[in-house]
Amino acid sequence: MYSNYNWETKRKQLALVKAQYEAAAQSGRKMPVIVDASVRMEATMAANQQSFQFYPGPAGTPTNTEQRLSLNDGFSIFEIGVFVAKPASSTSTIFKLYSYPNAGVFSTSNVATSLDGFYNNGVLNISKEQVNYLDNYPLLNHRFVPQVQDGITFGYTTASATVPNGLDSFDGTQNGFAPLASYINITGRDTLSINIQLPAGLAAVESNQRVVLVFRGYKAYNVAR
């Protein structure tokens, strides 16, 4: 499962994060606890919508599947994942994340084609304290279509046999994620603007459809006091 995952790269990333806090500790600050972590943000999708805002800190009301930062925590972003989902309800906790517009899931007319446009033409922007860190970063970096897809039949069947249905051949350590060449440091206190922009609004959406933005990296506790 993890044969292609670069654990040596992760160890080097952690060393970089530790080094920056060790330098701060030399000036009298306490060395924080640093852990491998993720930040998960979600935004609902509506017909004709072409801008989606995300909040990594405590602002607003998160969904019950978001994983945000506390006010005083810091986070170093090394990888980004962009996914779409179709929960059964606004409070569901068992929905799947998709890195492509599966037509068997996003089956309402024009929804899958709209999501094709989302991945092929959408961009992600991140700014902190009015300084741009990602500018028109293409969502196409995150579009991953598995060779075996959810709900697609395969193999030979007979009239009396149960039709075999495929499941996404999806590796959660990699698929849908892309690394950043230069990592980004944020805290729960920062003034951040994190948004996805589309050149045109979505033609159609499913009920409860949402976009899920995931940051993977390292959390440092109580560094933003």
- Comparing 40-54, 94-108, 152-166, which segment has the lowest mean pLDDT? 152-166
What pLDDT score was predicted for residue 174?
A: 86
pLDDT at 99 exceeding the cut of 50:
yes
pLDDT at 79 exceeding the cut of 70:
yes
The three state secondary structure string of 36-81 is EEEEEEEEECCCCCCEEEECCCCCCCCCCCCECCCCCCEEEEEEEE
The end-to-end CA distance of the chain, in Å, is 40
The verdict on residue 16 lying in a domain is yes
What pLDDT score was predicted for residue 27?
A: 74
Q: pTM of this prediction?
A: 0.89
> What's the mean pLDDT when you consider all of the chain?
89
Domain limits for position 77: 7-220
The verdict on residue 28 lying in a domain is yes
What pLDDT score was predicted for residue 224?
A: 85
The verdict on residue 207 lying in a domain is yes
The pLDDT-based confidence of 5 (bands split at 50, 70, 90) is low
Cα 130 → chain centroid: 22
What pLDDT score was predicted for residue 206?
A: 97
The verdict on residue 158 lying in a domain is yes
The Cα 98–Cα 184 span in angstroms is 25
> How many distinct structural domains can be found in the chain?
1
The verdict on residue 2 lying in a domain is no
| pLDDT tens digits, one per residue of 132-188 | 999 999 999 999 988 766 655 555 455 555 555 566 667 788 889 999 999 999 999
The verdict on residue 13 lying in a domain is yes
pLDDT at 28 exceeding the cut of 90:
no
The verdict on residue 153 lying in a domain is yes
The verdict on residue 225 lying in a domain is no
